Structure 1
Amino acid sequence: MILLEPHNYIIQTTLIDKFAKPSSLDVQFVDFDGVRFHMTNGDRKTVLLLSMHIRCWDELVRYGAMDVLRREYSSLLRTHAEPEYNVTLEIDLENAPAEGEARDNFIHSISLLKRNALAAPFELAFTTQKQLEAGGGQGELMQMHYRDEEVIYVQAAQDRVTIIFSTVFREETDRIYGKLFLQEFVDARRLPTIQNAPQVLFTNREPPLEIRHVPGLRDSEDIGYVTFVLFPRHFTNPTIAAGTISHIQLFRDYLHYHIKCSKAYMHSRMRFRVSEFQKVLNRAKTEIATTDRKTASSAMDSRRQLIGPQHASCVLRDFAPCFAASYAPPPASLITTLFKFCCPRALAAMFVPASLLAHVLLFSLRWVPSVARTVSVSIPLTAPTSAPSVPGSLISFSIEQDRWTDWIGTGSRNDYWFNLLSNLKDITGETPRIRIGADSEDHTDFSKTVKYSEAIFPASNPTTPYPEATNVTVGSAYYQLASQLPSGTQVTWGVNFGTDNLTAAYLETQAIVSAFTSSAVKSAGVTLESIEIGNEADLYKNNGHRNSSFNIQNYVNQWTTFAQNVTATANAALGSKVALWGASFAGSSHSATSGFSPQSAIQDGLLKSSAGAQIKTISQHHYEGSFCSGSNGLLQDLMLKSHTRGNLSSFSPDISAVQEQGLQYVLGETNSYSCHGAPGVSNVAGTALWGLDYALYATQIGVARVHFHEGIGYKYNFFQPVTLTRSILDGSTLPTPLAPHIQPLYYAAIVAGEAIGNTGSAKAVELSISNSQVAGYAFFEGSALKRALFINFQSYVGGTRGSVHITPTFSGGSKSEMTVKRLAIPLANATSGVTWGGQTYETSDGKVSGSVHTTKVSELCIGRIRFGIRGSTIAHIYDFSMIPDLWQKAFSSQCMLPGFCWDVLAHVEIRQAVSDQDGSRRKLSA
C-alpha cells in the first residue's frame, strides 16, 4: 500500500522555489477533492498570498475551523479573504524564519492549510468525547459535505468517536474492489502487532445506524459507507491525535486511489496473459520447411569439377588474408588426395600454391555445419509504382514543452542538442521537424511578466522519475528561443485547448506568430509549419479537462470556436493562412460513426469551417504499449516484426480517410511505451532496431512522418540533452550527475537518414521476406535502386549469437558487387557501445567519431551475392555495381563447389563473433 501525504506538494515546492528566488507568481490549482488554491504576489514580489476555497467551509467554520487556523497561522491569516475564496494567508518571505529546520517547518505548516481546516471537527469531537466520559450521552453529529454526493460524518460518544465516510463507487467493479480492500483492514486487525488499530466496518447501500435519521440520504447500489471507530487510545496523546487526524482525512482518497491502481494492475496482467497466450498460439503455427545446405562432402560426391586459374586468383585475392595465419600446412598427401578427389584436372591448371587452396578448402569443410540460416530476398532494380516517397525528415521529434528551455538553452544555445539535430541534417539535407507541446501544452498559460517559463512539477516517483508539469506559465521570449534551432527547421507549436481558456490560446498564438515573424527567427531560417490546438482531446473526459459526456461532436464544435480565434490572430500577423494540425487523438475508434477518430471528426464537420479548411495535417498519437501502471514491457515483444505491423496496420482505415481529403497523416507523438517508456526496454540497444523498422514500415501504410516523443529524463528518448541528477529508471538520486548523452534509439535516425539519402527524391518499399525475424527495405532515387536495409530482430542478450545469411536476387537485372555497412550492437539490452560502420555518436559534443568500416561483397566465386547479419544487427547495403562480362563467363558455376566461397564468408563472421566476445574486436576482412 502507498501512504498519501497530508500536505499539498504544490504549495510546498512553490514556497521553496520562491524563498530561493522571489519572482512574480499567479498560480491556480485544484486538488483531488476539488479544493481550489490560488497563489499570487501581494504588493511586492517577496509577499505571497495563498488562498483556499473548500466546498464545506461554512460547516467547518461552525465546528471551529477559524480557531484552528488562528492557532496555526496567527498573524499570517488575513482578516478578509481574497474574493471567491474562503481563507487567505499572507506570507512575507523577508520576515520568514531563516534557512534550516525552522524554515522547513514553516513551509510544511503552510502546506497543511487544507489539513488544518478539516481538522476542526475532529478536534472538536475528541474534546467532546473527553467531556462525555463522566456524564455519558452523545455529541452533535457533525457533517462535512466536502465532495459532490459524499460526506464525512463525525460524532463523539462516551467512550468513542465514530467517523463515517459516505463514498460513491462509479462502477460495479469499484464497489467489489472496495469491499475486498476493506476486508483486508478487518483481516489485518487480527494480527497481534496491530490489534490496537481502529475498528473498520463497511456497508453497501444501507447507511449505518448513527446516520439513518439524516434527511436526503441516497438509496442506491453505488453508495458505500465506511465506519471507523476511534477509542481514546487513538487521540488522547496530542501527537497521536494529530497523526490520526492527518491519516483519517485522507481515507477516502486512499481507498479510491488503490482501487484505481488495482484495476490498472489487473488490466495490465490480463493484457500480459492474453499476450502470452497469443505467443503460444503463434508457436502452434506450421512452420515453413527449410532445406539444409548440402555439406561440402556430399556436394563433392555429386559434382567433381575443375578449379581453374581464375578461381584460384579469386580465392587468393579475397580470402587468403583471412586464413593465411589460421592453420598449419596440411600434409602434401592430403592436399593431393583432396584435389584429385574433387577436381581431377585442377593441379595441372593451378598457378597458385596448392597448399593455400587446401587451407581454404579445409577451413570450409571444418565450418560446414553453420549456425546461420539462408534467406533469399528478391530486390527490384526499379521502383514499383506503389513505392511511397520518403522524406529526409521521416524521423522527426515531439518535445514535451514544460522543459523546452532546457532543450534549447536560454543564456546560450544548447550546442549538444543542436549538434545531434545537425548530424541528421548533414546526412539527409533536411532538418528533423519539431513539434512542441504534448501533455503540458494543455497546462500552459501566458503572462507578459514571465520572460521564459515558470513550471510546477509533481513529485518524482519510481514509475515517472521526471513527471510532466501540472502548470506552465510562459512569456514571449519562450517562443523566440526557436531561433536557436538548426537552419531549415520547421516547427509545429501547440496551444492550450484543455483548460477551455480561449484567452490563453489567443495569447499563446499571438506570442508564437510574433516570434516567427521576428528578425531573429527569420534570419535563423526557422519557420512555423503549423499550430496544434489541444493535445489528446479524446482523453479530456477522463483527465478532468471536460465532463464525462464529452464526445466527438463536442470536440468539433469547441475546437472550431478556438480555431476561428487562433487562425484570425495568426493569419493577420503572418500575412498568410497558417496551417493547422487536427485531431491529435491518443487513440482511435477507426470508425466514422462512433468514438474519437479522424473519420468521425471529419464526418462531424471538422473541415467544414473556414478555420477547419486550414487543417493540412491530421495527427495521430500512438505507443506500442504502456508503462503507466508500472508493469514492465518485454524487449522481445517490442522487437517482434509482427507486433509492429499489427499495431500500425490498425490505422490503415484512418489513413485512407485522411488522404481522401487531400491531407497528410502523421504520427505526431509516438514511441515505445507510454508514460515515458519502460526501464530496460525503451532505453536499450534493441529499440534502435524497433525504431528503424517502425518508422520505415509506417511509410508503407501512408504515414508521412513519425514524431518520436522526447522529454527531459524520459526513458524512451533518442537523446538526453542536459545533465541529469536522478535516475531515469527509478528516480533515485545518481551518485554522480549524468552528462548529456545519446541513447541507442538515436542510431535509428542515423541509419534511416543514410538509407533515405540527401536527394529529396527517395522512395522506399518493404521487401517480401518470409522469415519472421528479418525485415528489409529497398530505397530508390528516381526509379533506380540505390540502397537496401536488412534488420535481424533475433534478440541477442548473451550466449550463442545466431545469424542469417541474406542471398539477394535482383528482379529486372543483376548486381555483382556492393558495400555492406553494419550497425554493431554488443547486446540487445545494452545501453551503450553501439557503433554504426565503426563510428560512434557517444561523444561529449554529440558529433560523430571514428573511421568508417565497411565490407565489399561480390559474386566473384559463385555467380551470386550473399552476406550475413548477426542477431540484433542492421545491415545497410549500397554502391551496387557490375563486373565485366568476361569475368562473369570465367566464373561459371561449373568451376566451383556450390556455396564454397560463401561458407568461408560466413566463417569470417563466426570468427568475428568469437573475437568480439574475447574483447579484441579486431577487423576481419573478407
Structure 2
Amino acid sequence: MASLSPPILSLKSLFLSLLFTLNHAVFAVTVYGQTPLGMTMTSSLASGPVPTLPAYDKTVLIPPGPPQPPTTAFGLELQPQAASVPGLSITQSGAFLGFSIEMSVVNQVLGKNSSHIAVPLLNLLGNLQHRAGSVRIRCGGNTQELARFTDQLDNGAAIAKEKGNALNPTQTPAVLYTMDLFYIMSNISSLVNVKWYLGIPFNDTNFDLRISEYGQAILGDNLLALQAGNEPDLYARHQKRPETWHVADYMREFGDLVSFINNHPNIPIKNNLIGPSVASADWTPEMVWDAGYIETFKDVLSIIAVEHYPNNNCFAAFGGSGSLKIPQDEFAAYLNHNAGRDLVRPYLNSSAIALAAGKPFMMFETNTASCGGFPGISDTFGATLWALDYGYQMAYANFSGALFHVGGQNVYYNPFTAPPTNQTAFHQWTVGAIFYSVLVMTESFGKSNQSRIIDLNANGDNIFTPAYAIYDQDVLSKVALFNYVDDASGASDYTATISVGGGNTGAPNSSPAEVKVKYLAASSVSTGVNITWANQTFGNAFEVDGHLKGDLEIVTVPCDQASNTCQIRVPAPGFALVFINGNPEVEESDITFSTTAFTKLMNTATVDPAVLETSNGMSGKDRSKMGSTSFGSIDNGASAAIHGYVSVVTAVTSMMAGWILLRHVI
C-alpha cells in the first residue's frame, strides 16, 4: 500500500478545529441553549461560546426524581399459548421499525451516488437485517413534494438542493435528483435486504411520475409503495395550497393522480399508493375516512398511513408563531408508559378501519419532536426507552410498521448521522439513541413474521414499569420489561417474577429451567453516551463504523421449576428482554463490509472493492447545500455532509474551502 505522509496530528487537529469553528460561526441570540438557526452554543472556561451542530449536542438535562415509594418487585403470570390470550396484536414483522430519510439529505446518508455508498450505513443496516431479515426505508418527507428530475448534476451527485419557497414556514428546499438516485437504492438492496418507499411529488397536480416510473423499473420488488401526498392537512397552513383547500380538494387531486397513473404506459403497477399521510394537525384521520377516502381508493391503496410527532421545537428553530418549549420542562413527559399510549390512542379507530379494509396501517413518519427534536431529550437513553415503548405500543395497536425520521446535521433526533465533511479525516459516524430502539425491536420480533404482542398492564399498570409479552408462532417467546426510573442508588431497581402457566392461568406449570436475558442499559435517562445492548455498543459520537463493539453479555437466569418462577432484575433505568422460548442472537451481523483502505490515520469499514467502489468526501460547494429538511427544519448553511466513503483507486492531498482531505490508497 502506498500512502501520503500526513502532517503532525496535533497541528492538523488544531487547524481543522479552528476552521470548523469559523466555518460554522453564527451570530444570533441564544434561546435556552439554541440559536434560531438550530445550533447549540456550548462554552468552556477557556473560551467563549462555540457553536455545536445539533446532531452532536451535549446538553444534559436533570431527570425526574424517582417515585416514592419505589417499585422493588412485582409478578407476572403468563399463558404459554397465544390461543389463551385475548387481545393479542396482529402478526408483526421484525422490520416493524424502520427509517424515514428526508429526500434532500439522501446523499449524506446513503451515498453521493451509486458508486459511492456509505459503508457505515451498510454495516448498521446489516445488523438489523441479521435480526429481522429485512429493513424498511422511506426516502421522502417535505422535500419529495418539490422534487424535480434532472439528467445530470455537478460532481456526479444523485441529489442536489435548491432554495425553497421563502413563504413556506419550514423553508423546505426543492430537490433535484437524477436517475442515479434509484441506482443508489438498488445497489444498497443488492448488499443488504432493504425495501424502499418513495414519494410522488404532489406540489404540481400536473404530476411528474418519473419517480414512480423509474422506481418501479430499477428497484423492482425492492420498491414497496409510493406515497401520494406528504402531510396534506398542512398544505394550506404552509401556503402550498389556498386557505380554502380541504379534504374534498385532496380527494379530488388524489383521484387525478390515480387517473394519471392508470393512463401511464410505463408504470405497470397501478395499486401501490400510500395515503393519506395526514399529520393530524389541521385534519383528523376521521375527517378523511368520513369523506369516503378508503372506499373510493381501496383498489389503488397499498398502505394506509398517518404521520405524527408528539411535540415540536419549532419556536426555538424558527421563532414566529407558537411558544418556546423548554426541554427541561418537556423531559418528564417522555419518561413513562403514558407517552406511547397517549400517542397511539387517537389512532385506535383508524387502525381498526384499516384492518377491516384489509390494508396495513403505518406511522409513516415520526420522532421525538418536529422541527428537529429537543436537545437533551432526543439524543438520550430516555428517548431510547420512549421509542421502544412507543414502537411496542403501535404494534399492540395493530399498526404494521413505523418509520423514525432522519434529517441532516441540524437535528437532534437522528438514528444515525454522518460527520461534517471537514471532519471526515478524523471522525466516523454517530449513532443516535433511537437506533438502539430499532435494534432491540428487530430482535424482539425476529424473522418469523409471526410475532404477536400484548401490553401486560404490569405492576398494577404502573407507568414507570411497563411490560409486554411476545408470542411467536403462537407460543410465548419473550417478555419485555421496562424501568423508566432514574435512580443510581439502586433503590428503584426491581425484580419481576415471571410464571409461565400455573397460578390463575388455568394452564399447567410451564416455566423453563432457565431463561436468557439481554439488557438495554445506560447510566441515566439523561445521557446519550455509552448506551449498550447486551453490553455492546456502536460507540459514541464520531466513533461508529457500523459494527457493535465490546464483549457480548447474555445473562442466564435459572428458574425455580418447583415454584414455577423466574426472577428477572431490571435496573433503574433500564430494559430487559427475556427469552422464554428460543435463543437470543449471540453474534453480530455476518454482513460486514471492509477493505484495507484508510481515511487519514484510521482504518474504516468499507465495501469490498470487488463489489463496490467507494470514495471519501465531497466539495465545499456540495456541502453548503446539505442541511436538514425534516418537517420544520431549515437549511441554515451551517450543516455539512458526508463521511465514511473510502476511495480504493486514488490518492489525493488537497486543501479546498478551508478544509483538508488526505487519502490513503491501496
The TM-score bracket by the shorter chain reads 0.5 to 0.7
Match of 2:109 among 393, 398, 407: 407
Paired letter, 1:650: P
SS at match of 1:541: coil
**Cα distance in 2 between the residues matched to 1:548 and 1:420:** 43
The C-alpha deviation readout for 1:768-797, integer Å capped at 9, x for no partner, is: 31222111111222221121110111134x
Indicate how the Cα distance of structure 1 residues 509 and 865 shifts in structure 2: closer, same or farther if over 3 A, else same: closer
Paired letter, 1:415: V
- Residue 453 in 1 paired to residue 159 in 2? yes
The C-alpha deviation readout for 1:490-528, integer Å capped at 9, x for no partner, is: 21100211x22424x2233333333325xxxxxxxx611
User: Offset at 1:458?
Assistant: 7.6
**Cα distance in 1 between the residues matched to 2:289 and 2:566:** 50
Q: Which residue of 2 aligns with 1:419?
A: 123
- The answer (yes or no) to whether the contact 2:93–2:448 under 8 Å persists in 1 is no
- The answer (yes or no) to whether the contact 1:395–1:705 under 8 Å persists in 2 is yes
The C-alpha deviation readout for 1:817-844, integer Å capped at 9, x for no partner, is: 2122211212211112111112222253
Match of 2:493 among 803, 827, 830: 803
State how many pairs are aligned. 482
Q: Which residue of 1 aligns with 2:266?
A: 573
Alignment of 1:555-566 (within 5 A): 555-566=250-261
Match of 1:471 among 159, 174, 177: 174
- The answer (yes or no) to whether the contact 1:686–1:795 under 8 Å persists in 2 is no
Q: Which residue of 2 aligns with 1:496?
A: 201
- Residue 394 in 1 paired to residue 96 in 2? yes
Paired letter, 1:381: P
**Cα distance in 2 between the residues matched to 1:543 and 1:824:** 41
Q: Which residue of 1 aligns with 2:326?
A: 632
The C-alpha deviation readout for 1:122-152, integer Å capped at 9, x for no partner, is: xxxxxxxxxxxxxxxxxxxxxxxxxxxxxxx
Match of 1:676 among 364, 368, 372: 372
User: Offset at 1:417?
Assistant: 0.7
SS at match of 2:257: helix
- The answer (yes or no) to whether the contact 1:725–1:738 under 8 Å persists in 2 is no
Match of 1:781 among 462, 472, 487: 472
Match of 1:837 among 514, 534, 557: 534
SS at match of 1:678: coil
Q: Which residue of 1 aligns with 2:355?
A: 659
5+ residue gaps, structure 1: 1-257, 259-278, 291-370, 518-525, 589-594, 727-733, 882-926
User: Offset at 1:862?
Assistant: 7.9
Match of 1:877 among 562, 566, 578: 578
Q: Which residue of 2 aligns with 1:239?
A: none
Alignment of 1:296-445 (within 5 A): 373-383=72-82, 384-388=85-89, 389-409=91-111, 410=113, 411-429=115-133, 431-445=134-148
- The answer (yes or no) to whether the contact 1:408–1:484 under 8 Å persists in 2 is no
The C-alpha deviation readout for 1:548-568, integer Å capped at 9, x for no partner, is: 111100110012112321344
SS at match of 1:739: coil
User: Offset at 1:799?
Assistant: 5.8
- The answer (yes or no) to whether the contact 1:392–1:757 under 8 Å persists in 2 is yes
User: Offset at 1:735?
Assistant: 13
- The answer (yes or no) to whether the contact 1:599–1:657 under 8 Å persists in 2 is no
- The answer (yes or no) to whether the contact 1:689–1:872 under 8 Å persists in 2 is no
**Cα distance in 2 between the residues matched to 1:737 and 1:638:** 34
**Cα distance in 1 between the residues matched to 2:159 and 2:424:** 29
SS at match of 1:840: coil
User: Offset at 1:739?
Assistant: 2.8
User: Offset at 1:861?
Assistant: 9.8
Alignment of 1:415-814 (within 5 A): 415-429=119-133, 431-450=134-153, 452-457=158-163, 469-486=172-189, 487-497=192-202, 499-503=203-207, 505-517=208-220, 527-569=222-264, 572-587=265-280, 596-607=283-294, 613-630=299-316, 631-633=325-327, 634-713=330-409, 714-720=411-417, 722-724=418-420, 739-769=428-458, 770=460, 771-796=462-487, 802-811=492-501, 812=507, 813-814=509-510
User: Offset at 1:538?
Assistant: 0.3
Match of 2:517 among 801, 816, 820: 820
SS at match of 2:466: strand
Q: CA RMSD in A?
A: 2.9
User: Offset at 1:708?
Assistant: 0.9
- The answer (yes or no) to whether the contact 1:641–1:772 under 8 Å persists in 2 is yes
**Cα distance in 2 between the residues matched to 1:607 and 1:613:** 9
Paired letter, 2:524: L
5+ residue gaps, structure 2: 1-35, 37-63, 317-324, 502-506, 583-666
**Cα distance in 1 between the residues matched to 2:163 and 2:294:** 36
- The answer (yes or no) to whether the contact 1:493–1:531 under 8 Å persists in 2 is yes
The C-alpha deviation readout for 1:867-890, integer Å capped at 9, x for no partner, is: 211112011111459xxxxxxxxx
Alignment TM-score, normalising by the size of structure 1: 0.49
Paired letter, 1:492: Y
- The answer (yes or no) to whether the contact 1:373–1:805 under 8 Å persists in 2 is yes
Indicate how the Cα distance of structure 1 residues 657 and 802 shifts in structure 2: closer, same or farther if over 3 A, else same: same
Q: Which residue of 2 aligns with 1:866?
A: 567
**Cα distance in 1 between the residues matched to 2:403 and 2:262:** 24
Q: Which residue of 2 aligns with 1:363?
A: none
**Cα distance in 1 between the residues matched to 2:425 and 2:216:** 41
Alignment of 1:141-180 (within 5 A): none
Q: Which residue of 2 aligns with 1:849?
A: 549
The C-alpha deviation readout for 1:449-477, integer Å capped at 9, x for no partner, is: 44622203589xxxx9xx87412122222
**Cα distance in 2 between the residues matched to 1:543 and 1:442:** 12
Indicate how the Cα distance of structure 1 residues 650 and 481 shifts in structure 2: closer, same or farther if over 3 A, else same: same
Indicate how the Cα distance of structure 1 residues 445 and 501 shifts in structure 2: closer, same or farther if over 3 A, else same: farther
**Cα distance in 2 between the residues matched to 1:492 and 1:735:** 29
Indicate how the Cα distance of structure 1 residues 627 and 735 shifts in structure 2: closer, same or farther if over 3 A, else same: farther
**Cα distance in 1 between the residues matched to 2:179 and 2:326:** 40
Indicate how the Cα distance of structure 1 residues 736 and 448 shifts in structure 2: closer, same or farther if over 3 A, else same: closer
User: Offset at 1:800?
Assistant: 5.8
User: Offset at 1:533?
Assistant: 1.5
Paired letter, 1:548: E
Indicate how the Cα distance of structure 1 residues 641 and 844 shifts in structure 2: closer, same or farther if over 3 A, else same: closer
User: Offset at 1:576?
Assistant: 3.6
Paired letter, 1:715: Y
**Cα distance in 2 between the residues matched to 1:530 and 1:691:** 24
**Cα distance in 2 between the residues matched to 1:658 and 1:530:** 16
- The answer (yes or no) to whether the contact 1:585–1:597 under 8 Å persists in 2 is yes
**Cα distance in 2 between the residues matched to 1:664 and 1:759:** 18
Paired letter, 2:555: T
- The answer (yes or no) to whether the contact 1:379–1:767 under 8 Å persists in 2 is no
Which protein is bigger by CA-based radius of gyration?
1
**Cα distance in 2 between the residues matched to 1:737 and 1:555:** 49
Indicate how the Cα distance of structure 1 residues 568 and 659 shifts in structure 2: closer, same or farther if over 3 A, else same: farther
- Deviation larger for 691-700 or 845-854: 845-854
Alignment TM-score, normalising by the size of structure 2: 0.67
User: Offset at 1:684?
Assistant: 0.9
User: Offset at 1:701?
Assistant: 1.3
**Cα distance in 2 between the residues matched to 1:723 and 1:405:** 13
User: Offset at 1:542?
Assistant: 0.7
Paired letter, 1:535: N
